[in-house]
Structure 1
Amino acid sequence: MRYSLHVFLLFISSALSAQQFRYVPRHPKPGDVVSFTYTPAASLVNQTVIEGRYVRYAGPATMRLSQPTTATAIRQGNDVVGELKLPKNTVSGLLFAFQSKANPKLIDHNTNHFYPVLVYDSTGSLQPHALGGQASVLIRTAFPYALDVKPDWNWAVQQYEQEIQQFPANRPQYWADLIDAQIKQQKPNAKKTALANIDTYLKSRKPAPTPDDLNNAARLYEQLNEPKLALAVRDRIKTVDPTGDAAQRAQAGAVRAETNLAKKLTDYTSFTQTFPASAYRSMLVSSLAEAYFKAGQFRELNAFLAQQSLKDTDPALLHSFAQQMTDEGHGIPQTDWLASRAIAALQQRTQPKNDPVDRVATLKAYQSTLAYAFDRQNRLGAALATYRQAQDGLAAETTEPRINERILACGIRANRADSVLPYVEAVVRVGRVTPQLRSTLRNWQIKQLGSAAKADTYLAGLEVNYRADRRAELAESFVNEPAPNFTLTTLDGNTVSLASLRGKVVVLDFWATWCGPCIASFPAMRKARDHFKNDPNVQFLFVNTREGGPVSRVRSFIEKQPYTGVVPLDVTKKVSESYGVQGIPTKVIIGPNGRVRYRSLGYSGNADATAEEITLVIEALKQ
């Protein structure tokens, strides 16, 4: 079998990730069913529904076919388990990350390296591209960016070098990407080294470099800001293969790299006249569209796209433009045309076989953006009709809270709130709401029912089952640990002890003035605290710990906050240590019986979700 010291070291370096992510069989082959077990990292421990997001990979030429998808996974105690079937071909491995469904910002991507599933051939040997393909995911797919991965170029270089050593015949496929990753390492003399490596590789190709070699070299020269060298190798391509794929790719690359918009359009026109049936035309349409969009030339963008064939138009790109423009309020008169064009392009495309993308869900997302474009232009009738079309057939549990918020606001502005009320009530019952939707619905019902008390009763009735279900879900993850007693002096000079709070739900929020996530989580904690401001059986303690500076710094900080509360001072850090605080912010909630029932480390960045979770935990413990 083709094992080497490098592969052995790879497995050793994966030991830590193997503690979080395991799978069987250990040497899966194409077509096998792989069962996996994931033990959630700290940021995901308290998440009820965790999704396994993965991308399959193989050689560089097939990476463009790799689309991220979700593996079916269920919670079993402290773990998440699932399974999937490997394709029978075009697969050298899978790269996994795990994400909270309730809060997509909570992601475990194994410190930017993902969790790999390596695939073997029928002899039990590692598949070609199993190592280099992992690095190609960084360079050739959007998967890392969708998951907020910060590329580790040292790791990428190591993966490429191991691939080339393990499979020397794959060097022509990886040499350019390896140099690209080495440039991104930004080591001293990186440019000089890269230029030397390009030259060495081109001279090593016998009897001569291929058009692909030269095209890759041109791309690298441009990246290194050496336009003359790039032009020289492109001229060599024209000599070797004047009308073939490499020549087309070389000229398309030059059009794509052009930064002057007027010249870019001229070069694109020349390209389409020279190669009218080129497969690279759609790529260049996207490149021109992005240039118009970045320049804020929205009318010109629409005019350009109107002249292009729908088959050369990327619907996802157009939808992203329309979505960003509606969200930010830019170029509003052009947004409905862009959104409509995206829908038309999507509907014209034939969905490839085995494409994991849910075409119906994608279409409805596009329709929602079109509805919002109408909404932003006060074309309220068209907006409501399109919102209805976008939501038709969707289960309330799968709707987007932000879109639900827009539907209610649009209905109220159009004096047709009654027409959307049944839909809004259905999504409120399953918790698919934003705080703004809840507030808007409450204010509208105050006018209809005549009092705030009646509106609050109405809302509570809609949410009663959802909140009960969420409390039950959270209760499944409760701990049951003794709560160490403490007595601390507060910032205002009083004392507070846990013993004196027996019979109450006590919330401890460990923080420091220098801790950015701690400060960022304060609005969420204020919301939760304010929810129980009239409840004598709930006590919030904002425990300052690990401050490392004078008390005056804490006092000065608190005085500047829109914030009043009890701030105990854990100067010696004994309380945080007794509660096993590994980092801050840490939230610990103690039940009325004096035992720790809930703890969380860090802050997700979502104030509404954090406030709701803290509130529901307290409600569950009170019951």
Structure 2
Amino acid sequence: MSTFKITAMLFLLSVSTYGQQLKSRLNFTSGKITQGSSVSLSYDAKGSDLEYSDAVKAAVYVFDNESWRVDTLNLKGINGTWNASYAIPGDARFVAFKFYQGPLDNPEATDNNNFKGFYAAVKDKTGKSIPGNAVGEAQLFQPLQAANNIYGYFGKDLDDQLSRADQLLEQEKKIKGSSIGDYLFFYLNIKKKVLGDAKAKILGTQVIKALLEKPGTGEQQLAKLSRLAAYNLKDEQLADDIANRILRNYPGGSEARFVAFSRIKKNSPDAKVREASYEEFLKAYPVSEWRKKRDGKGFMYYELYRNLGSSYFESRQYDKFVELFKQMDFRSGNEVWRWNLTRGQMLDELKKGNAADTLLSLAEATIPYLLKLKDDGSYSEDFNSAEAARSNAYKQLDDRLFTLIFLQNKTRNYKRAAESFKHLSEEGRYSNADLNEIHLNVLENLVDTKSILPLLEMSAKENALTPRMMTKLKEIYLAGNNNDASGYEQYFNSLRSGEENRELVAHVKEGLVNFPYKSFELEDADGKIVKSADWKDKIVIIDFWATWCRPCIMAFPGMQLVVDKYAKDPDVLVYFIGTMQNGDYKTKSVNYVRESGFRFNLLHDAVNSTNGEQNVVFRSMVPLFKSSAIPRKIIVQNGIIKYTSEGYSGSPSKLLDELSIAVDLIKNQK
């Protein structure tokens, strides 16, 4: 009898509180706040920051007894009152309304009832309280303790509502069907704030042990209790005892698999111990079984295959390395391939003995698996749409094929390389300038002269030409036009995509700036001093680079095109400033550029006398860019930075076009 009275009183209190808070500002003109019902709401913005808004929206925060989600409503305004209809979800336990103008993630104005909230508990269809009614209200006012997206409602814990949240959780215990295990994480966080860590730990341990004694405690509940014991209570022994119970009671279950995964000896200093631990897990919990009933924990196999694949590769167990691809999906296989084979190609591994032959053998043995699996959808969890996941998979496969073709070309397996080109996606077939040059080399060695011009013309259309390709294209044109170059420029421009050029012009215009910079004096490659103050009226292209920066080095062929284009232009200068380097940076940078055959005007960034870092000029400009990344191209004139861009697109011809467009725009400025 007493339980009934308490429950009834709490229900009346909830309705009363709801009525007081919503009566004057938000009203429901029809319908009841029950699961699955439709209601009409009327919001009065007078006196709020939205009073004079011409476009009010509502964000509806919905609690389903486990987590929060957000629905949005467009409201219609009539004489200062904003109206809408809303279908209350069938699983809702609590709803809170926040009104706003502009985008929800960065609103121009909001109204949450001056931190009192617009909210209501959602009853069942008979009007009775249901589990989650009180928890939802408590989490609304203590969102940081809930650790989910209710944070967006108030944006902080309301300290003056802590006692109320604690009382609400005590009320929740009395709601029929409610289980403290459903909200124990939040409950313990609140108790820590109210009681302190020590007392909350004692209470938490008692609650967990009481739940463990209940008959029928399932696998998922045990897993939740184990994590709470480990991470909230910091009681490793209790967590381990619960994990062992999971292994005993549910040996083939999802949580048992996760427990076993967490116990893999991946941090052992002994590589053989780590490797054996990975293999034992795969034997006990084969990926084929997981795929029959996926549980959202596929990351376990991704991490495991990545580590095991690297272990096999580094210990030269190449048969096992290849065999592993029979188990993996595309996402895991692609990562194992990238981390070992592509990385081996990029890290100068090819200079070691017959490394190129070894890498090629492994690449050719494993690429068929990736080709077969490219449409398996294994990237779906990483993207918002199936099309985006598919596009990413194809892009990744193109990158892996680049490595394969690179190795085939390097080892002079030209016929096999020609076949590999056929597997590239439509988007990747001509978009990579370095790959296009390899393709040119393959065709030349196969004496496939009829295919060379189409390759060059398609590469030009994609604006993905290297200097050698540009030279070859012009040679073919001259050979077919009696060495008459008068029409070459028109021919070359006809190959280009007008749409891509418009996009590039728009991109360059976004990089136009007007930043004054501090003048400087730097030493050049011959030890002479170059002063920026002497560049009066000149347009000066500057490339900030370093010998350790791979994208910087990759951009050099394109920058050589820029240097050559403006070599005879008295109004344009090009300098390369080496920055953020260590050791004998002057010798390293000068030797690299000269030995590589580039004809650059080199400058050495100055050394900071306070910390010894070689970055004085570049560091002085970082606040302007809001980034310290290189490569960084800038164009300056009369003490003003007029253009800036970061990174490298991968195409020498595109880099030439970018900087040429920027120079032309600056020349035409009044």
Q: With the length of structure 2 as denominator, give the TM-score of the two structures.
A: 0.48
- The Cα shift of 1:286 comes to 3.9
Name the structure 1 match of 2:100.
Answer: none
* Aligned-partner Cα distance in 2 for 1:135–1:470: 42
Most deviating of 471-480 and 201-210: 471-480
Answer whether contact 1:60 1:174 (CA < 8 A) is retained.
Answer: yes
Opposite residue 293 of structure 1, the aligned amino acid is: G
Most deviating of 422-431 and 264-273: 264-273
Answer whether contact 1:478 1:597 (CA < 8 A) is retained.
Answer: no
Answer whether contact 2:520 2:531 (CA < 8 A) is retained.
Answer: yes
Answer whether contact 1:588 1:598 (CA < 8 A) is retained.
Answer: yes
Name the structure 1 match of 2:368.
Answer: 340
* Aligned-partner Cα distance in 1 for 2:472–2:657: 20
Name the structure 2 match of 1:215.
Answer: 223
Q: 1:293 aligns with which of 309, 330, 349?
A: 309
- The Cα shift of 1:204 comes to 3.4
* Aligned-partner Cα distance in 1 for 2:184–2:461: 56
**Cα 1:132–1:382 shift into 2, 3 Å:** farther
Opposite residue 538 of structure 1, the aligned amino acid is: V
* Aligned-partner Cα distance in 1 for 2:663–2:250: 71
1:38-49 equivalence runs, <5 A: none
Answer whether contact 2:250 2:256 (CA < 8 A) is retained.
Answer: yes
1:450-529 equivalence runs, <5 A: 461-462=491-492, 465=496, 469=502, 472-473=505-506, 476-477=509-510, 501-502=536-537, 505-507=538-540, 528-529=562-563
* Aligned-partner Cα distance in 2 for 1:611–1:461: 18
Residue 532, structure 1, aligned to residue 574, structure 2: no
- The Cα shift of 1:349 comes to 5.8
Residue 615, structure 1, aligned to residue 643, structure 2: no
**Cα 1:478–1:367 shift into 2, 3 Å:** closer
Tell me, what secondary structure is at the counterpart of 1:534?
Answer: coil
Question: How many pairs align?
Answer: 467
Residue 303, structure 1, aligned to residue 336, structure 2: no
Name the structure 2 match of 1:150.
Answer: none
**CA offsets, 1:387-406, max 9 Å, x none?**
234344x4989x44454444
Answer whether contact 2:575 2:603 (CA < 8 A) is retained.
Answer: yes
**Cα 1:336–1:422 shift into 2, 3 Å:** same
Tell me, what secondary structure is at the counterpart of 2:386?
Answer: coil
List alignment gaps of at least 5 residues for structure 2.
1-16, 22-54, 70-88, 93-103, 121-135, 173-178, 189-195, 269-273, 346-357, 594-599, 609-615
1:566-581 equivalence runs, <5 A: none
**Cα 1:352–1:586 shift into 2, 3 Å:** closer
Answer whether contact 1:541 1:568 (CA < 8 A) is retained.
Answer: no
**CA offsets, 1:212-265, max 9 Å, x none?**
465367669999999876643322324565555433432344358586222432
* Aligned-partner Cα distance in 1 for 2:339–2:605: 44
Opposite residue 614 of structure 1, the aligned amino acid is: L
- The Cα shift of 1:473 comes to 2.8
* Aligned-partner Cα distance in 2 for 1:274–1:391: 29
**Cα 1:356–1:30 shift into 2, 3 Å:** farther
* Aligned-partner Cα distance in 1 for 2:511–2:559: 19
Opposite residue 264 of structure 1, the aligned amino acid is: Y
* Aligned-partner Cα distance in 1 for 2:636–2:414: 46
Name the structure 2 match of 1:431.
Answer: 463
- Structure having the higher Rg: 2
* Aligned-partner Cα distance in 2 for 1:530–1:90: 68
- The Cα shift of 1:317 comes to 1.4
- The Cα shift of 1:411 comes to 3.1
Tell me, what secondary structure is at the counterpart of 1:235?
Answer: helix
**CA offsets, 1:433-474, max 9 Å, x none?**
4xxx343453586589679x9899968843575696467435
* Aligned-partner Cα distance in 2 for 1:133–1:427: 56
- The Cα shift of 1:272 comes to 4.8
- The Cα shift of 1:314 comes to 2.2
Tell me, what secondary structure is at the counterpart of 2:363?
Answer: helix
**Cα 1:539–1:423 shift into 2, 3 Å:** closer
**CA offsets, 1:289-346, max 9 Å, x none?**
223312114420322443x4xxxx3211112323444423374323234332233234
Name the structure 1 match of 2:350.
Answer: none
List alignment gaps of at least 5 residues for structure 1.
4-23, 32-57, 64-87, 92-113, 138-154, 180-192, 548-552
**Cα 1:294–1:201 shift into 2, 3 Å:** farther
**Cα 1:559–1:373 shift into 2, 3 Å:** closer
Residue 268, structure 1, aligned to residue 282, structure 2: yes
Tell me, what secondary structure is at the counterpart of 1:205?
Answer: helix
* Aligned-partner Cα distance in 2 for 1:348–1:371: 21
Residue 589, structure 1, aligned to residue 609, structure 2: no
Answer whether contact 1:527 1:611 (CA < 8 A) is retained.
Answer: yes
Tell me, what secondary structure is at the counterpart of 2:263?
Answer: helix
Tell me, what secondary structure is at the counterpart of 1:431?
Answer: coil
Answer whether contact 2:578 2:603 (CA < 8 A) is retained.
Answer: no
- The Cα shift of 1:362 comes to 4.7
* Aligned-partner Cα distance in 1 for 2:333–2:402: 15
Tell me, what secondary structure is at the counterpart of 1:415?
Answer: coil
* Aligned-partner Cα distance in 2 for 1:417–1:440: 14
Name the structure 1 match of 2:444.
Answer: 412
Answer whether contact 1:380 1:414 (CA < 8 A) is retained.
Answer: yes
Answer whether contact 2:575 2:602 (CA < 8 A) is retained.
Answer: yes
Identity of matched residues, %: 9
**CA offsets, 1:533-573, max 9 Å, x none?**
2211224589999x9xxxxx99999999966479999x9x9
Opposite residue 322 of structure 1, the aligned amino acid is: W
Answer whether contact 2:379 2:393 (CA < 8 A) is retained.
Answer: no
* Aligned-partner Cα distance in 2 for 1:597–1:254: 56
Opposite residue 215 of structure 1, the aligned amino acid is: A
Name the structure 2 match of 1:361.
Answer: 391
* Aligned-partner Cα distance in 2 for 1:379–1:360: 30
Tell me, what secondary structure is at the counterpart of 2:211?
Answer: coil
* Aligned-partner Cα distance in 1 for 2:289–2:625: 61
Opposite residue 208 of structure 1, the aligned amino acid is: L
**Cα 1:30–1:384 shift into 2, 3 Å:** farther
Residue 204, structure 1, aligned to residue 202, structure 2: no
Name the structure 2 match of 1:18.
Answer: none
Residue 442, structure 1, aligned to residue 456, structure 2: no
* Aligned-partner Cα distance in 1 for 2:657–2:337: 31
* Aligned-partner Cα distance in 2 for 1:238–1:371: 45
Name the structure 1 match of 2:260.
Answer: 251
Tell me, what secondary structure is at the counterpart of 2:424?
Answer: helix
* Aligned-partner Cα distance in 1 for 2:520–2:254: 74
Answer whether contact 2:634 2:641 (CA < 8 A) is retained.
Answer: no
Answer whether contact 1:367 1:386 (CA < 8 A) is retained.
Answer: no
